[in-house]
Structure 1
Amino acid sequence: MSAAVSLSASGAKVERLALSRFTTLGVGGQAEVWTVENHAQLSEAMSAPYRILGGGSNLVIADEGLKERVIRLGGEFAATDLQAAPESTAEHFISGWVGGGVPLPGLLRKLRTLGLSGLEGTVGVPAQVGGAVWMNAGTRFGEMFDGLFALEIATPEGVSQLSPDELPWGYRDSAIPRNHIVTRVRLQLTRSTPEAVSAKMQNADTSRKGQPKMKTPGCAFKNPGGVGAGKLIDDAGLKGTQIGGAMISPDHANFIVNLGGAAASDVHALLELIRQRVGVPLELEYELWP
């Protein structure tokens, strides 16, 4: 094991790493990264100020890095149990526990193979399950809470399990507090066929063809009042605007892309420019760290 890697008292892997390697934008300074594989390791990791990092989408991390430790989920939190649970019926499928550290794209491929419908609207979201649930990720075709049966959430005070009905979730919001970690979920899906699920996924994916393929955190702003944020930014004449190594995508104005060598400060400058030039208040979809 590298000298730069150490093990905590409970066996969690601890190392100091550049966070840019974990984000879809490809920016971010260094932090102490804890990779945890079970609840004992997670409990120890949460004993000091922390942030949880999943797939790294919808996230802009400061160039100077973070003072808090960063927790990443592995081990039992990256396991997938897609056996039918006793609560399942002839029409509805209830899964076992799916870890918060499971990559969402891979999970969707498994659901397609099994002919299980309900999460097709999240196709193309480059997130892990826990992060996707935390922000209720999705598209106009559907969102994460469409397919949830139960959640397991960890905090420094302990672990709890709850039903989605216990949360006042909504558009791009689960109502789960910031320091709460979605460790596992159980899915509630409709039995279908691989062909039908594939067709729904393809339909949702086709609608995203105009989105940029470069390094990006995803959509920068939530759509205000049903109006597309991208159209508002485009109407303000900002599509293609570049600051440093970051640019408002010429393909879709609600995306900021990394042209190569972008800094978080470049992205912040573009976000501020958009807010100054667009005539209505815009709410960020991005998480800004710190």
Structure 2
Amino acid sequence: MSAATLSRNGARVERQPLARYTTLGVGGPAEVWFVADHAQLAEAMETPYRILGGGSNLVIADEGVSERVIRLTGPLAERDLEPDPALSTSEEIVTGWVGGGVPLPGLVRTLQKLGLSNLEGTVGIPAQVGGAVWMNAGTRYGEMFDGLHAIEIVTPEGVRQVSPTDLNWGYRNSGIPRGHVVSRVRLKLRRSTPEAVLAKMDFADQARKGQPKMKTPGCAFKNPGGVSAGKLIDEAGLKGTRIGGAMIAPEHANFIVNLGGATATDVHGLLTVIRQRVGVPMELEYELWPEQP
């Protein structure tokens, strides 16, 4: 790990291992930029870069990545949940800006306490808001685009605001191109009660009870043709299969877990075994850094 320096616009820059920022706990080093405003973000985007949010759904190579890695901090990790009086009604509210670096789990819990509905289906997803929007993260009970009014996107050409209707979004896809950063969003939420929202969250959370509690990126593969990927992997007899410190979880076959000391190479080995043994094409839900052919 190198000593931190400041960029010309004041972003903190430091070479760090990326494993500390991923839910799987693997990943080699990179130059990490901690940006707190649009000027710092624009500067960080001047050369090839990657955005790293909550670190879920991600497997980073043991060698790390050559691009600079951007983390949203400061004002870009703050939230304003006050209703906008010009856009809110007796049934629905539109909030102020919520930074892309805001942790999603804490946001969902806060909305529950305020009795605001539309995002409870994302309960338990260990992401930051920007990354969750970029991939339209969710569960069978709801997804990020259920609760979006406006999205602020930073591109190499500048900052622009779009609405969900401007994007060709769908299952685990926002329609936002690579090279574009979700810096902030405004939420569109339905007025409810804390008790009613909590009941929906508990219902969605019950479906997660069979998932492993160890370090994991989340589901490894998308469901092919509506068939459960976990069921296919289980039927191939792969639950509990281990390579190095990584294992296909006994609780749920579509999860790979870090038993301690796992490497990205171990995880890639298990992904290869799954694809070889399951009799249908399997599309990764993980994002791989760097991308694989």
For the superposition of Structure 1 and Structure 2, which TM-score range results when normalised by the shorter chain? over 0.9
Give the distance between the partners of 1:180 and 1:267, measured in 2 at CA: 28
TM-score, structure 2 length as denominator?
Answer: 0.97
Q: Which residue of 2 aligns with 1:129?
A: 129
Which residue of the partner structure matches residue 13 of structure 1?
12
Q: Which residue of 2 aligns with 1:66?
A: 65
Q: SS of the residue aligned with 1:40?
A: helix
Q: Between Structure 1 and Structure 2, how many residues are aligned? A: 289
Could you tell me which residue of structure 1 aligns to residue 165 of structure 2?
Answer: 165
Does structure 1 retain, via aligned residues, the 8 Å contact 2:119–2:142? Answer: yes
CA distance in 1, matches of 2:2, 2:16: 13
Q: Deviations over 1:231-287 (max 9, x none)?
A: 000001111100011000000000000000000011011111111111111111100
In structure 1, the partner of 2:42 is: 43
TM-score by length of structure 1 reads: 0.98
List, as ranges, runs of 4+ consecutive aligned residues in structure 1 with deviation greater than 3 Å: none
The one-letter code matched in structure 2 to 1:145 is: F
Amino acid at match of 2:129: V
Work out the CA distance in 2 between the residues paired with 1:29 and 1:222: 26
2:176 maps to amino acid: I
Secondary structure of the equivalent of 2:270? Answer: helix
Q: Which residue of 1 aligns with 2:182?
A: 182
Q: How many Å separate the matches in 2 of 1:159 and 1:235? A: 48
Looking at structure 2, the residues matched to 282 and 132 of structure 1 have their Cα atoms a distance apart, in angstroms, of 22
Measured in 2, the distance between the counterparts of 1:154 and 1:282 equals 32
Aligned to 2:247, the other structure's residue is in SS state strand
How many angstroms apart in 2 are the aligned matches of 1:276 and 1:49? 34
For 1:222, the aligned partner's letter is K
Aligned to 1:207: 207
Cα distance in 2 for partners of 1:161, 1:3 equals 36
User: CA contact under 8 A between 2:2 and 2:16: conserved in structure 1?
Assistant: no
Gap runs ≥5 in structure 1: none
Q: Distance in 2 between matches of 1:282 and 1:134?
A: 22
Report what 2:33 is aligned to.
34
2:81 maps to amino acid = L
- Matched residues, percent identical? 75
Write the deviation string for residues 197-218 of structure 1: whole angstroms up to 9, x where unpaired.
0100011001100000000000
Does residue 1:268 correspond to 2:276, yes or no? Answer: no
How far off its partner does 1:3 sit?
A: 7.2
1:55 aligned residue: 54
CA distance in 1, matches of 2:5, 2:256: 36
Which segments of 5 or more consecutive residues in structure 2 lack a partner in the other structure? none
- In structure 1, the partner of 2:153 is 153
Alpha-carbon distance in 1 for matches of 2:176, 2:162: 11
CA RMSD of aligned residues (A): 0.9
How far apart in 2 are the matches of 1:156 and 1:14? 20
